[in-house]
Structure 1
Amino acid sequence: MNQKKRMILIVGMILMLVSLACNLSLQDGKLSIPITLKEDTIKQIISTAQSAAASQGEKLPLIEVEDIEFVEPDRIVAKGQYQALGGQRLNGQVELKFSVVNDQPKVEVTAINIPGVDLASDAVKKVNEALSKVIRDQVNQAGEGAVIKSITVEADALKILVEVTVRR
């Protein structure tokens, strides 16, 4: 075997081992990349979405998420302290549902247990949009042309499966 063929074989084996170790798979020229978002990352996403909604003039209580409960297959419940507009601190929770629509992430508040906050308000709609955008931005870091194939909730994380076309 000549040197060039041996090098190609070695590189191919290294790529195969890396893909197995990183839980990546390559099929039909498409690389599947799982992205795992743990509790701390989800807290950051919620905080970023709040900031985005507030920058658009929306008035919602400031959420200080203390705990995330993962509810399979597609929901999380964020529990914590909420500072009401008058400054009073209240316990409360928000349930978020995750899905994929037209290869784009969709996050929506499906239940809210915070006094004075209406689920159908424009502010909640803006938070839904901001949450979806933050997830979309996270996925775009996987590379140009990344397509979201699924979003699922497992015991301790939110899992996003992204597919990227490999150019030859």
Structure 2
Amino acid sequence: MDPNDPAAVFTGLPTRLYLDTGVLQRLWDFGGVVWEDEPFEPSARAARVPHLADDLEALRRIFEVNDRAGFEFVVTEASLREVEARGQAGYTRWVRDVEDTWLVQSEGVVHEPVAMERLGSVSSKDWLLVHDALTTSCDGFLTADRPLASQAPILVRKTGLRVLLPADHWALLARWAPLWR
């Protein structure tokens, strides 16, 4: 993709994004900040989480644009297993609702399993999610996991999947956000 060609950049925006469990947890814990524009007033524990305020601001902007853009946000069984392992019933129900929304959006689409060996130094746990993203034809993988995001160059080169931190995804969208307002 030629970064100087606006049409190529626009058509290259990820439109089907896999939500990793770190992003899902941020959305669950701070939904008021993301969807209701409530001020971010972190607890002492949350204040120690690196990049949390930046992630939340980027997620707020991404979902504001999505009100009109209609991107697909994908959750799969691999994500649900991680969520269920946390033992929070309300959080699990909410993530299942997110998954249900995507299943309705993608009804009738057949996803073929992708045969591919783990790449780079992606952990085996993260590879399950990345593999699901590839199998469900995602072109983006939204993560709050900095070590996974550090593997973005090899993943995009070998698979075409763009692994993005919330701020990185917002940086791609910001130029085009006025089109969806």
Normalising by the smaller structure, the TM-score range is under 0.3
Where relative contact order (Cα < 8 A, 6+ residues apart) is larger, the structure is 2
Q: TM-score, normalised by structure 2?
A: 0.24
More helix by share: 2
More strand by share: 1
